[in-house]
Structure 1
Amino acid sequence: MKFDLHTHHFRCGHAEGSIRDYIEAAIKGGLGVIGISDHSPYFASEEDQFKPGIAMAKSEFPSYIQDVLALREEYAGKIEVLLGVESDFFPEHKELYRAVYQKYPFDYIIGSVHMVKGVGIFERSRWDNLQKEEDIIREKEEYFTLIQQSAKSRMFDILGHIDALRGYFPQLSEYHTPVVDQTLKVIADCSGVIEINTSGKGKDCGGWYPSDEMLERACFYGVKVSFGSDSHVPSRVGDEWENVRTKLKEIGFKQWYFFRRRQPVRVRL
């Protein structure tokens, strides 16, 4: 069973194509399951669309849900379409986000940390003033502490791109801290699932999130895994799925998971 749970579309402001385009690409690519998981609006903002180039407007969210559900019915028998969302994790607003999501029949929710101390994780300039090793490690620890909090919140079925902070700072992996292993233990204790996200190939770090080294540690601690291409163009749906599957088997994983009606579905590797 080939699946991809992390895809976007035009509503977020930085992806191309319609939801239908991603479903058609999934069928063409031989997938049995396609999840639609566009970026959540900034629900805590007073503005309808706080950052138009990053996330959809709050007023668009109900129509997003309706479109996915309608396409699920239309494509029944051809491919299974799952309703998801990639949610930002803001600890101070988690109950607001939780309340919003409870209104809708999601199959799964991806929880992703995109901001640390008010700065985007893919903002290159965040590293400009961090020259000392202790400062870089502190930044890394701030990020992984937020990952821990997102796991403990139990709001999410999948944790998204858990080491993406290294996207434009590849050498971050060389700055070691016990917080990384602590985070993996927390995720395992919370029965969390992390995605192998193949969009890292488009950043300076190359490859996937998380790194092979971190995946090996995740396997050691018993963390469960899923797959997401993080496609922002339809042509990337299912990107490197078979390569990821092979690597996971080499590491020692026996299965991975997708979600249906917020329940894990096990797929043998």
Structure 2
Amino acid sequence: MSVVHDYHVHSNYSDGTQMPRMLAAAEEAGLRAVGFADHCNVSDRESLRTGKREYGINLDRTYPLRREAIESLRDQYDLRVFDAVELDYDPQDESEIAAFLDEADFDYAIGSVHRVEGTNVQRSAPFADLSERERRAFVDDYYERLADLVESELFAIAAHVDLPERTPELRGYTTPDHHEMLADALGRSRTVPEINAGRALRDYGEFHPEPEFWAALRERGVEFVAGSDSHEPDEIHQRKRALDEHFAEREAEPIRLFD
């Protein structure tokens, strides 16, 4: 069950490594296709607009330059290279997201929920002093927002669909009801989740989605693409091998978005 298409890698156009180095590593790892899905946020809210400029995550402005680079690199590597995006989703930004995707015309878009009401899901500090009830309510809001993402039909792929599990203070607050709600939404949608290896070989030590969630999705016939979520060249080969093993253990095979 070899993974040959990796739909989720990052470059220096967000928080990853230069594209030639990432492509050389992907080619060496035996991939046949790789998708640069750099982070992007198109919200007009001042705090998000300021933050993305400060951290240099400006794909909303720089995607034409990255596209030129991708087009020139395609002839240099024995790989199919996709021009994609990982776009932050918030229901209040749907019109801006739809307009941007229509204008930019990426090969595909990955949708992610990284923040709920401005709070980053992956950071421990905001949750350290919260009560169990408050943490549970935050996780509830995360899954409701993720279901909205799926139902929007704006995205080909839903990224790391149980992201709160990465954060120690939120781990364990995901419930079977969350699994059922999101599995039902994905079962009705053209959007597919990814098997995401972003923390499988690091501190979290698990793939997204975790095993019980994976089972709920498979009960509804939901299939998956493979996404290493690699930011550095060395991660690509390690995560591809881990994804190969993950799919093989489940006697499953990742789907491809394109022939």
The change in CA–CA distance for 1:119 and 1:246 in structure 2 (over 3 A counts) is: same
Q: Deviations over 1:42-95 (max 9, x none)?
A: 4525658734326225432221222223323x247x111111110110111111
Q: Please, which runs of 5 or more residues in structure 2 have no aligned partner?
A: none
Secondary structure of 2:224's counterpart equals strand
Letter of the aligned partner of 1:233 in structure 2?
E
Residue 190 of structure 1 corresponds to which residue in structure 2? 189
Identity %: 21
TM-superposed CA distance for 1:152, in Å, is: 0.4
The answer to whether the 8 A contact 2:37-2:83 is kept is yes
Map residues 210-221 of structure 1 onto 2, 5 A cutoff.
Answer: 210-221=209-220
Q: Deviations over 1:146-204 (max 9, x none)?
A: 11000000010000001111212276236525132111111111132111111113654
Residue 130 of structure 2 corresponds to which residue in structure 1? 130
Does residue 236 of structure 2 align to residue 237 of structure 1? Answer: yes
Residue 68 of structure 1 corresponds to which residue in structure 2? 70
Q: Deviations over 1:217-244 (max 9, x none)?
A: 1111211201111111111125333443
Letter of the aligned partner of 2:110 in structure 1?
I
Letter of the aligned partner of 1:256 in structure 2?
P
TM-superposed CA distance for 1:98, in Å, is: 1.3
Residue 95 of structure 2 corresponds to which residue in structure 1? 95
Task: Count residues in correspondence.
Answer: 255
User: TM-score, normalised to structure 2's length?
Assistant: 0.88
Q: Please, which runs of 5 or more residues in structure 1 have no aligned partner?
A: none
* C-alpha distance in structure 1 between counterparts of 2:195 and 2:149, whole Å: 17
Secondary structure of 1:109's counterpart equals strand
The answer to whether the 8 A contact 2:150-2:158 is kept is yes
* C-alpha distance in structure 1 between counterparts of 2:147 and 2:155, whole Å: 12
Residue 221 of structure 2 corresponds to which residue in structure 1? 222
* C-alpha distance in structure 2 between counterparts of 1:66 and 1:182, whole Å: 40
User: TM-score, normalised to structure 1's length?
Assistant: 0.85
Letter of the aligned partner of 1:185 in structure 2?
D
Q: Deviations over 1:239-264 (max 9, x none)?
A: 333443443344353x322324xxxx
Does residue 138 of structure 2 align to residue 139 of structure 1? Answer: yes
Residue 18 of structure 2 corresponds to which residue in structure 1? 18
Residue 149 of structure 2 corresponds to which residue in structure 1? 150
Does residue 104 of structure 2 align to residue 116 of structure 1? Answer: no
Does residue 165 of structure 2 align to residue 163 of structure 1? Answer: no
TM-superposed CA distance for 1:41, in Å, is: 4.0
Secondary structure of 1:227's counterpart equals strand
Letter of the aligned partner of 2:158 in structure 1?
L
Kindly report the root-mean-square deviation, in angstroms, between the aligned alpha carbons of the 2 structures: 2.4
The answer to whether the 8 A contact 1:197-1:208 is kept is yes
Q: Deviations over 1:23-43 (max 9, x none)?
A: 111111111111111111445
Secondary structure of 1:102's counterpart equals helix
Letter of the aligned partner of 1:96 in structure 2?
E
